[in-house]
Amino acid sequence: MLAIIGGTGLTQLDNLEITRRLIVRTPYGEPSQPLIFGKIAGREVIFLARHGNGHTIPPHEVNYRANISALHLQGVTEIAAVATVGGIHTDLAPGVIAMPHQIIDYTHGRKNTYFDGIDLPVKHIDFTEPYCPELRDKWELAAKSIGETLINHGIYAATQGPRLETAAEINRLERDGATMVGMTGMPEAALARELGISYAAICPVANHAAGRGDSLHAIQYEDLVENLNQTMTRVRNIIAELVKRNGFKKNEV
Ligand code: HPA
């Protein structure tokens, strides 16, 4: 079963025919909102808005463990995580949609593992490739089939937020090799891996990162939201295509 986690600018899926909403309780607390079960083009999918219904939960307060655990309890095996970013690399201008292949974690103080209790033995997951390469390749082709481009690489810097970065911080992230910056990439990706769920992120670029392009002196939040509205329409179409193809074998599509 495929789940979509929506981020800023994607609190609901317009093209989703909702069949039921389910309140789920997990050992880690409640997810950001009841899980939304529905269909797109007759194919089942679960939707969860990471920041809650009214976009009220900031990145550092999202209960990532409850969100991923709730999806796992419902039999989710694949997650498409939509997470908006600021573009650091010049190729990642507002309006571009990218699927990063790597991540650097700069967050702190977030509950970032299921293996910290006394009841479970310590486990060190392999995280060499944090985003599932098969999903990324599959989704790149799905997007192509409807005339969309998903850039299939990039290094995501996960910052703590909720404030945006300084220009000097962006310079540092760039020296580290990061090409895009967002606040929700971690620990979500690692938790999915801990539970054996295939996970990849779809990252619409909302703005030039601080100190870059038209964000040289400031990031205009209103412009950021306006950019996102346009890009999210394209993201919704791409997601519809992913859901439509999900469950079909390669030679059936
Ligand atoms: N920085 C961090 N997170 C973001 C940005 C940004 O510039 N844009 C959208 N999410």
Tens of pLDDT along 53-102? Answer: 888 999 999 999 999 999 999 999 999 999 999 999 999 999 999 999 99
| Average pLDDT of the residues of the chain | 93
* 193-216 average pLDDT score: 96
Tens of pLDDT along 178-191? Answer: 999 999 999 999 99
Nearest CA, atom 3, ligand 1: 182
pLDDT at position 150 over 70: yes
Ligand 1 site residues (CB inside 6 A) read 84-86, 159, 164-165, 181-183, 206-207, 209
Ligand 1 centre to CA of 157 (Å) is 10
Burial 226-238 (b: 16+ CB within 10 A, else e): ebbeebbebbbeb
CA angle 45-46-47, nearest 5°?
A: 120
Domains of the chain: 2-245 (3.40.50.1580)
